[in-house]
Amino acid sequence: MDVEKVLRFKYATWNIRGLGEKEEELDKILNENNIKISVITESKKKLQGTKKTEHYTVNYSGVDRQTRGQSGVMIWIHKSIPNKIYHYKFWNESVRETRLKTQRGHLIILGVYAPTEGRDELNEGFYGTPETILDKVNKTDYTMLIGGMKARVGNNRVLNIGGTMGEATLNNNGRKVIDFCTFNNLKVMKTFLSTKKFVNLLGKQEDTNQLLVTL
């Protein structure tokens, strides 16, 4: 699988606020929209594991069985590419990692669900996990951090990081995202898109292998 073709796939992220019994419906919606890779946040699904739906291989992580359902991240990989899944790892209920093998290295997908604005202690702890993962990523690998960052990054252009298509507001979480992206050479792709869509269409970036898809 050529990595340039991978990056022309359709990717999506969706905060569903509880999966419940909607798994079949979600599978149908993603497949009908030709979504190849999707990160579903706030699934409220407990424990961790891998399962198959009609069209996808799903890696999920959540809280333990005794904890009230909250957070939860799922990475849905379409059945047309599951044989390329090289590795997946549970980090915690808010961070899930999946690696796809390509002809030029690995495509690393980090599914994330950050704490809300104002919960500074939790936010500091949250960023430590993706930082640990990115520290170990090979420079030739492609990285996509997809999910909910609970951030508003403003619409001022930040060189190689952010574009001008975001909303005007900049909050504390947004500043954390900008700092995180600057340190890790990530792009906030949402700020380069002229319209808000359910599906984010991504093209290869010439100056970086790493992308931050959505906020």
Whole-structure pTM value: 0.78
CA dist 143 and 208 (Å) reads 9
Q: With 70 as the cut, is the pLDDT of residue 205 above it? A: no
Per-residue pLDDT, averaged over 17-29, amounts to 87
pLDDT band for 18, please (50, 70, 90 cuts).
confident
Domains and CATH numbers, the chain: 3-212 (3.60.10.10)
Instruction: Report pLDDT digits (tens) over 115-163.
Output: 777 666 666 778 888 889 888 888 778 888 888 887 777 677 776 777 6
